[in-house]
Amino acid sequence: MHKIDEITFKKFKVILLEGVTGSGKTRVYFHKVREVINKGYQCLILVPEIILTTQWVEDIKNDFDINPTVYHSSIKKKIREEIWGKVNLNQEKLIIGTRSALFLPFNKLGLIVIDEEHDSSYKQEEQLIINARDFSIVRAKNANCMVILSSATPSLESSHNSKLKKYEYFKLYRRVNNVQLPIFKIIDMKKENCIISDELSNSIQKNIDSNHQTLIFINKRGYSPFIICKNCGYSRVCRKL
């Protein structure tokens, strides 16, 4: 049992739940989701990307006796209209969706969960400009219910609000079964003369020699139209630009 279980969902409150990856954040608020549904209320779980809804459905089916309803912009209009009507009649208890699910006409909303609350995908910058995380708090206030913001790396806004005591704050410090986090090392690229550091290059080569695989993540998509020499500052610009 977690301290969040002791807090009533029938009163407006914002909870920031922080925890390292694999610490069991999902299990913590699943207890609250079950309580809300068992008492006849509705629950909305927001995820940042459509592709994440599939995994959520599987997880919930393993924990609950009900099939959650998925709602997002890629669902056919006719099905969305059916879901809209059922939600309004309180016939759908558990909704998993992206930011568009916030506009559903909940009849008896008891809990909103924002998974990965820091994710930029919750921000809509075309047509109606909103931040789904902030809008969820407004909806929870109007419904006089609880909203849980969950993240391993909370946004600056949420962290600041928790320090101001506007949000209740809980943190999970350890992974489930005390599984250790992977070892990581930060390389100062200002001291390197290449895009790939010597240490990374050596580590990749060791993996190749050991017949192991290497996965490299980059922090942005796109391309660089020019190359700058770190030694002299010379910039070689693409002539096609």
The answer to whether residues 54 and 137 belong to one domain is: yes
H helix runs in 65-197, sequence order? 77-88, 132-143, 156-163
Helix (H, G, I), strand (E, B) or coil at 113: strand
**Are 133 and 94 in a shared domain?**
yes
Domain match, 148 and 205 both? no
Last residue of a domain, one of 178, 206, 224: 178
Specify the pTM.
Answer: 0.76
Q: Are residues 195 and 174 in the same domain?
A: no
Same domain, 11 and 127: yes
For residue 54, is it within any domain?
A: yes
CATH number at residue 124: 3.40.50.300
Distances (CA, A) of 66 to 31, 61, 92, 111: 15, 7, 10, 17
What Rg, from alpha-carbon coordinates, does the chain have?
22
pLDDT for 116-168, tens place per residue? 999 999 998 887 888 999 999 999 999 999 999 999 899 999 999 999 999 99
Total structural domains in the chain? Answer: 2
How many Å apart are CA 163 and CA 155, to the nearest integer?
A: 12
The verdict on residue 127 lying in a domain is yes
Same domain? 100 vs 194: no
141, 157, 178 - which closes a domain: 178
Which domain covers residue 43, as residue numbers? 3-178
Indicate the pairing of strand 109-115 with strand 94-97: unpaired
pLDDT in tens, 92-116: 999 999 999 999 999 999 999 999 9
Is residue 229's pLDDT more than 70? Answer: yes
Strand partners, 26: none
Pair (141, 31) in one structural domain:
yes
Whether 174 and 196 share a structural domain: no
- The first and second tokens of residue 196, run together, are 């790939």
- Do 43 and 147 share a domain, yes or no? yes
Q: Are 112 and 145 in contact (CB under 8 A)?
A: yes
Within this chain, do residues 199 and 144 fall inside the same structural domain, yes or no?
Answer: no
CA–CA dist 90, 40 (Å, integer):
9
Buried b / exposed e along 37-53 (16+ C-beta atoms within 10 A) = beeebbbbbbbbebebb
Q: Are residues 100 and 15 in the same domain?
A: yes
Is 72 inside any structural domain?
Answer: yes
- Is 184 among the domain residues? no
Give residue-wise pLDDT tens across range 27-72: 888 888 999 999 999 999 999 999 888 888 888 888 777 889 999 9
